Copies of this chain bind each other. A is one copy, B any other.
């Protein structure tokens, strides 16, 4: 198909598709002539994935390129590629401080992982993300003790088990990796939305059970998005 058709079927403007092609997020189309190229279903799928990463996952374009490159890197085994791809996904501003809060956060993070029976990989982006997040909590004076974190960890473990089972159902290795990346990113807002809904539910239950439950006013106040 032509670029314009790719645009129509994906809902992404031709200018943006060109931009993605330029940035290497999409492989170039098959050149028909010097000034025309042909795109196939694979391009469409990839384009939708890119859109999901960039729009939903707020992944910077440069990062998305790295992630996709890792997914396609034929020179590594699948587990390495998965690690590289997911590790390249954004993980919040890693405010690397050497202060007391960071140090305490580091100890807490390790303890949590130990208690959950997880391996500890100090350089892991997610590990560092955890530490810097905990450090922020500590600096603000909010509790982040191991016992408080374990419920989160157990919830995460349950979710991850479920997700990996899902990913395992895909057959082709590259499709599996794509699915892993997509699900990692796309289920983040799902999880966060469910958490907020659960919070509203629980808040209504605890504080003012009679009314529309702490989300109603938000329904009136919403106007951004």
Q: Is the CB of A119 within 8 A of B201?
A: yes
Is B142 a contact partner of A186 (Cβ separation < 8 A)? yes
Which of A17-25, A31-39, A77-85 has 4 or more CB atoms under 8 Å from chain B? A77-85
Question: Which of chain B's residues have a CB closer than 8 A to the CB of A88?
Answer: 218, 221-222, 224
Residues from chain B with a CB closer than 8 A to the CB of A188 are 192, 195
Do residues B48 and A139 form an inter-chain contact, with CB atoms below 8 A?
Answer: yes
Decide: A186 and B217 in contact? CB cutoff 8 A: no
- Given A160-B202, A190-B152, answer yes or no on A125-B214 (Cβ-Cβ < 8 Å): no
A15 at the interface (CB under 8 A from B): no
Q: Which residues does chain B contribute within 8 Å of A130, judged by CB atoms?
A: 189-190, 193-194, 197
Interface size bracket, A side: 35 or more
Tell me the nearest residue of chain B to A89, going by C-beta. Answer: B196
A212: nearest chain-B partner, CB-CB? B121
Q: A residues 163-221 with Cβ under 8 Å of B?
A: 163-164, 166, 168, 179-180, 182-184, 186-204, 206-208, 211-221
In the bound complex, CA of A222 to CA of B89 (Å): 10
Residues of chain B contacted by A182 (CB below 8 angstroms): 140, 142
Residue from B144, B149, B198, B208 in contact with A79 in the complex, judged by beta carbons closer than 8 Å: B208
Question: Are the C-beta atoms of A93 and B56 separated by less than 8 Å?
Answer: yes
With contact pairs A140-B49, A156-B191 given, residues A127 and B197 touching in the complex (Cβ less than 8 Å): yes
**Is A27 interfacial (CB 8 A cutoff)?**
no
Q: Note all chain B residues with C-beta closer than 8 A to A225.
A: 91, 93-94, 96, 125, 128
For the complex of A and B, the 6 pairs showing the least CB-CB separation, nearest first, are: A87-B218, A123-B219, A160-B198, A94-B225, A155-B155, A126-B196
16 A–B contacts, CB within 8 A, in A order: A79-B217, A86-B214, A87-B218, A87-B219, A87-B222, A123-B219, A148-B162, A148-B166, A152-B194, A153-B198, A155-B156, A155-B158, A156-B195, A156-B198, A188-B192, A188-B195
